[in-house]
Every structure is written in C-alpha cells, then in structure tokens.
Amino acid sequence: MQNKIYINGLGSISAQPEDLISGEAIRVYDENIFSAISPNYKKYINLKAFRRMSKGIKMGITAAQIALKEAEIDMPDSIITGTGEGCKLDTEKFLENLLDQNEKLLSPTAFIQSTHNTIGGQIALNLGCKQYNITYTQNSVSLETAFLDAQIQLREDPEMKVILVGGVDEVSARITSFRKLDGQLKQNPIKNIDLLKVDSQGTITSEGAHFFALSKEKNQKTYAEFQSVSIKNSIQPEEVTEEITAFLKIQNVNLLSIDAVILGVNGDNRYDHYYKDIQLDLFKNTPQLAYKHLVGDFDTASGFAVYLGANILKSGKVLEVLRLNQVECRNPRTILIYNQYLGRDHSLILLSAV
C-alpha cells in the first residue's frame, strides 16, 4: 500500500487578503490586470538579498517560509517550484537595458535573476538548503507538474520525508499585457467579482505565490491529505467526464463521495464549456466552487484552489463568494479540483480530510 501525503503547512500570497478565509472582506478590482497584496516581506527575507529581488521572488520566498513555519519544518528534503512565465520583471528589465545600451554594458543582476529557476534557487539560498531543487515551467500545469514530482518522490523514495512545493507567477508591464493583445484578457475593464457574469472572450489576470509543505506524516495542524494529481495536456470537451471518472476510479473514490468540486472557470466564453458540461451533468448535485473571480487567472492560479480546498477540508467552512450553485456543502471530506486554460493543460487534484 502506498504511503499517504499530507499538507501540513501552506503559504498564500494573492490579490486577496491573507485573512480571507477567516472572514476579511474580499478585494474588488476594476482592472483586468491587478497586483497581489504584498505582506511585510522584510519579516521573511534577508535584507541584503532583498534589495535585488523582484516581486515574484519576494512572494515565493515569503509563501515558502509561511508554509514551512506552519508545518514546523526548518529544512525540507526537496524544493519543487512551478512557474508558467518565471521572473518576467527581471526579464523585461534586462531586455530594456539591452535596447537602451545598444547591447553593451549590461547590468548583470537582472540577467542573473531573469531565469525561471531563480525563485526556487533563492528559496534554497534563504534556507541554506542544498537538497534536490527543480523548477517546472509547463504553462498552466506548472504547479501541477511540481506536485506530480513531489508525489512520485514521497511515494517512491523512503529517504524523502518533507517536500516544499509551490507555484509562483508575477505580473509585468509588457509581457503580461501581451495576453490582452492576443485576446486572452477581456478587452474592456470589468470588476473582478463580475468575471463569471460577463459573457465575453478572455479573462482577467493577476499574480501570486502558493507554497505547500507536503509530508508523509500528519500532525495536529495538518490541513488535508493530498491524494493525487493528474495532468492531460489535450482533452476534447466531451472527454472531460470520462477523464474525471477514470481518475477517480484509479483513486478508488466514488463520484458520490466528492463533497465539492473547485472549478477553474475564468469567464472566457470560448473555453468555459469545458466546465459547463460537467456542471450540468456529472456534478449537478455536487457543491461547485470557483475562485478566479477573486485572484484572476494566471499559470499557477490553481495554487489558490489547493489553498482553498485544504482550508475548507480543515475548517469545514465554505465562503459564500466561492459558490457557483446552491447545493449545500455539509461536512466536506473529499474535494476535487479541475483546471484548464484555453482548452489545454487540464489538471485534476484530489484532496481529502484527515
């Protein structure tokens, strides 16, 4: 029998306040690109290193520190990071510098910190961790790929006890705005809370970092059991039900025992039918929840869904603002998360209460 994996600590930085779960009012934005709320990063980051860091690196280190602190872990056995677009701020800074300086006399810092694996590397430097450290960049399944690696390692390697897994993406002026140019974002500004009411092409975007301390051992603070993750890069809309059914069968979980499903609906009328079909059929009697109207859609936004799912399983409470239907969610024990972006990169994550 394979060993279980538990979420013992989590850190979330997003466009919503960190106390959202405990009742703080949600933030409303009037733009289609909005920023994450910055905590006091200097509480978590060495001040000498701090001055060079872009927001993505600061968010990543801080969310990682919060997750480890919650799990009472000083040193993880692995650090696995997912990021769809990496350190865009330093990439832009370097490229602008390249143009301004006519490709000569370039600042080394922006170049060094422009690579996708900077975040995972800086987390390790901040901790002094010399263990396995890898970064996955697989569009909107970057975080899920990181989870998959962690799952394999925790199940196959007896030496592996605790793994820090997370996803980070940051907003930058130019590269993020390309999403508007190619129609990934709505052309006119909307309120984020109206995202799922507006019938038009595109979505809204933001940034964030979500880190999770995964362990083979549970403790009194454990949020949830991380049962499994599945990734399919390409699925036809009519195959979603079959994929979900097959995934649950492998996990030995009956469809009726899913107490809530967290969906990545993002208001893009070209692709939300991937969700609509299962909302109307497979999960019509299951509480359906959404989150991208709170934090926007970005490549690792599903980290917020895992954060919500883990908190719902621990507290038993579901925020009203998440609900897509009125089916009551009583004593949730098992939650399924389904996400896709632009009809590609489909992922399923199964969490259960401990």
Partner 1 sequence: MKNLRTELKESIIKELNLEDMEPEDISNEEPLFGDGLGLDSIDALELIVLLEKDYGIKLTDPAQSKEIFVSIEQMASYIEENRTK
Query: In the complex, which residues of this chain contact partner 1 (CB under 8 A)?
Result: 48, 50-52, 101, 105-109, 112
Three-state DSSP state, 291: coil
Which residue number, 1 or 47, has a Cβ lying nearer to partner 1? 47
Which residue number, 2 or 40, has a Cβ lying nearer to partner 1? 40
Smallest separation (angstroms) from partner 1 to the CB of 112:
7
For the purposes of burial, counting CB atoms within 10 Å of the CB of 137, is it exposed (0-12), middle (13-18) or buried (19 or more)? middle
DSSP β-bridge partners for residue 208: 169
Three-state DSSP state, 169: strand
DSSP H helical segments within 185-344, as ranges? 240-250, 273-280, 292-295, 302-315
Q: How far apart are CA 123 and CA 137, in angstroms?
A: 17
Return the exposure string of 262-295: e unless at least 16 CB atoms fall within 10 Å of the residue's CB, then b: bbbbbbbeebbebbeebbeebbeebbbbbbbbbb
Three-state DSSP state, 109: helix
Nearest to 161 by CA among 223, 71, 231: 71
Smallest separation (angstroms) from partner 1 to the CB of 242:
52
Smallest separation (angstroms) from partner 1 to the CB of 48:
6
Which residue number, 111 or 132, has a Cβ lying nearer to partner 1? 111
Smallest separation (angstroms) from partner 1 to the CB of 346:
41
Which residue number, 2 or 102, has a Cβ lying nearer to partner 1? 102
Assigned token pair, 318? 């579901």
Taking each helix axis as running N to C, give the angle between helix 55-71 and helix 88-100, from 0 to 180 degrees, rounded to the nearest 10. Answer: 160
Half-sphere exposure for 109 (CA within 13 Å, toward CB):
8
Nearest to 136 by CA among 159, 125, 160, 152: 152
Which residue number, 56 or 76, has a Cβ lying nearer to partner 1? 56
For the purposes of burial, counting CB atoms within 10 Å of the CB of 174, is it exposed (0-12), middle (13-18) or buried (19 or more)? exposed
Smallest separation (angstroms) from partner 1 to the CB of 120:
18
Which residue number, 112 or 282, has a Cβ lying nearer to partner 1? 112
Q: How far apart are CA 215 and CA 272, in angstroms?
A: 34
Which residue number, 77 or 90, has a Cβ lying nearer to partner 1? 90
Smallest separation (angstroms) from partner 1 to the CB of 53:
9
Smallest separation (angstroms) from partner 1 to the CB of 6:
39
Smallest separation (angstroms) from partner 1 to the CB of 74:
25
Which residue number, 51 or 130, has a Cβ lying nearer to partner 1? 51
